[in-house]
């Protein structure tokens, strides 16, 4: 968590109000940025009443679903909290038509998710109906399916195949700042529907539900790569070849995640509905080059390809784990354009390897993402030109001073500058952006 975290508040003079986890009971516990009062909404009427109450009494209103927002936009010191986490209604239909759509329109197989539904719940519900849904990926599946993930853009390991979250949502129901309950889709409140798809969570009102298109369950091929890079020369060569493969990979529907440092490259990717032969034709050339470049490939390189019956099968085996807890960190990100990867792979590789502490490469763009009109949603249009999304961060232990935290933030600025030099026209992802640097 950033800002620096939800339980911590830094005053202008550098003093800190916080409630630390790892301390004794005798140590004072402050509220930090946690709102002192709020409403646990269970219905549309609850949300409308809370919004109108906040307006009537001139209260700062913050909306919280799961609290995953890295910038802490779902909380604020002294604010009035509207918590939607308990709104867990899920419904599926084979014949969904957006409100106001022409009756002759071909209906969608769709899943409508209440504001508090999390992705692990949405995935399980879709699977029960023989479908799958494009959504967020986290170790405990706790990201909200109708909150900031979706309204900030929403990337997935299958985005190259199906697009982003904003490309798959069919309809929102929302309570506006005036307390009105409205529907927004491609036929009603069109401007609001455009803005909700990319404009950010909690920006235009309180989302009550989101209806997502679902997809036919198809088998997947997953691949894993762990390579130890024992010299700068080996690292540069392997990373250059790694960057080169991504445009073609995204065109073929591959997606996934990588962890890159000066001494190691690890990635796990997945491609839907391709054969073993197609998977091998795509990935084996890179595996072969890596074996040639890495001197002790027998011990320093591990590769693996495996089949999965469905996305949910892959998700449960590869991604889903135990409960997780937030930490103190400052995050930055950059979308890497396809043109840069194609024309300057050496420079991209060099920049990534220069990031002290490493970074995460989210291979969640290109393919279907690039085929959508950049003006069709409120999303940053840089997504439509990108292939990769890199994320880097710096963390600190709780109890650090404001000056130390600010020093960490300046270190992050240097990392952002490194990526900006190689991709000066790039942009950041709304949901994974620095709170102090653009």
Give the number of C-alpha atoms closer than 13 A to the C-alpha of residue 149, restricted to the C-beta side: 28
- List, in sequence order, every residue forming a beta bridge with 272; answer none if it has no partner: 220
pLDDT, position 253: 92
Fold of 90-216: 3.30.465
pLDDT, position 2: 41
pLDDT, position 321: 67
Task: State which residues of the chain have pLDDT below 70.
Answer: 1-7, 321-326, 436-438
Instruction: Kindly report, as residue ranges, where domains of CATH 3.40.462.20 are found in the chain.
Output: 220-422
pLDDT, position 323: 61
Residue 148 neighbours by CB distance under 10 Å: 29
Please answer whether residues 177 and 361 qualify as being in contact, where contact means their C-beta atoms are separated by less than 8 angstroms: no
pLDDT, position 103: 94
Q: What is the DSSP string of 106-135?
A: PPEEEEEEETT-BHHHHHHHHHHTTEE---
Instruction: Kindly report, as residue ranges, where domains of CATH 3.30.43 are found in the chain.
Output: 8-83
- List, in sequence order, every residue forming a beta bridge with 184; answer none if it has no partner: 172
> For the whole prediction, is pTM greater than 0.85?
yes
Nearest to 389, CA basis, from 421, 357, 432: 432
Task: Supply φ then ψ for residue 216, to 5 degrees.
Answer: -65, 135
Its CATH architecture, for the domain 8-83, is 2-Layer Sandwich (3.30)
pLDDT, position 219: 95
Please answer whether residues 122 and 129 qualify as being in contact, where contact means their C-beta atoms are separated by less than 8 angstroms: no
pLDDT, position 398: 81
pLDDT, position 108: 98
H or E stretch at 307: strand 301-308
Instruction: Kindly report, as residue ranges, where domains of CATH 3.30.465.10 are found in the chain.
Output: 90-216
Provide the 8-state DSSP code for 3: S
pLDDT, position 198: 96
Query: How big is the CA angle at 220 (ends 215 and 224), to the nearest 5 degrees?
Result: 135
Nearest to 186, CA basis, from 214, 222, 162, 211: 211
Fold of 220-422: Vanillyl-alcohol Oxidase; Chain A, domain 3 (3.40.462)
pLDDT, position 1: 38
3-state SS, residue 270: strand
């Amino acid at each position: 968590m950033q800002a620096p975290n939800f339980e911590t508040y830094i005053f202008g003079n550098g003093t800190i109000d916080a409630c630390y986890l790892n301390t004794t009971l005798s140590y004072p516990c402050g509220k930090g940025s946690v709102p002192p009062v709020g409403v646990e909404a269970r219905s549309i009427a609850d949300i409308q009443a809370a919004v109108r109450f906040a307006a009537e009494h001139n209260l700062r209103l913050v909306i919280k679903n799961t609290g995953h927002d890295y910038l802490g936009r779902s909380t604020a010191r002294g604010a009035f909290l509207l918590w939607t986490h308990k709104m867990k209604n899920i419904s599926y239909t084979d014949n969904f038509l957006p409100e106001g759509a022409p009756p002759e329109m071909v209906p969608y197989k769709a899943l409508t998710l209440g504001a508090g539904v999390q992705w692990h719940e949405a995935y399980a519900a879709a699977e029960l109906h023989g479908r799958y849904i494009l959504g967020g990926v986290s170790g405990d599946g706790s990201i909200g399916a109708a909150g900031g993930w979706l309204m900030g853009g929403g990337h997935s390991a299958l985005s190259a195949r199906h697009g982003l979250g904003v490309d798959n949502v069919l309809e929102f129901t929302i309570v506006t700042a005036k307390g009105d309950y409205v529907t927004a889709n491609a036929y009603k409140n069109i401007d609001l529907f455009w803005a909700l798809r990319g404009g950010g969570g909690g920006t235009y009102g309180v989302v009550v539900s989101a209806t997502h298109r679902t997809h036919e369950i198809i088998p997947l091929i997953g691949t894993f790569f762990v390579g130890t890079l024992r010299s700068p020369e080996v690292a540069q060569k392997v990373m250059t070849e790694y960057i080169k493969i991504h445009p073609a990979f995204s065109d073929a529907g591959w997606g996934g995640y990588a962890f890159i440092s000066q001494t190691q490259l690890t990635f796990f990717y997945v491609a839907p509905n391709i054969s073993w032969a197609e998977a091998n034709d795509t990935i084996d050339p890179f595996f072969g080059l890596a074996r040639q470049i890495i001197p002790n490939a027998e011990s320093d390189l591990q590769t693996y390809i495996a089949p999965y019956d469905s996305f949910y099968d892959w998700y449960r085996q590869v991604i889903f784990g135990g409960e997780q807890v937030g930490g103190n960190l400052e995050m930055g990100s950059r979308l890497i354009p396809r043109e840069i990867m194609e024309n300057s792979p050496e420079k991209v590789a060099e920049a990534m390897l220069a990031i002290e502490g490493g970074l995460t490469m989210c291979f969640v763009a290109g393919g279907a993402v690039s085929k959508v009109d950049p003006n069709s949603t409120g999303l940053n249009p840089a997504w439509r030109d990108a292939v990769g999304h890199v994320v880097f961060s710096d963390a600190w232990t709780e109890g650090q001073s404001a000056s130390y935290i600010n020093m960490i933030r300046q270190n992050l600025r240097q990392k952002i500058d490194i990526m900006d030099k190689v991709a000066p026209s790039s942009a950041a992802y709304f949901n994974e952006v620095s709170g102090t640097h653009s």
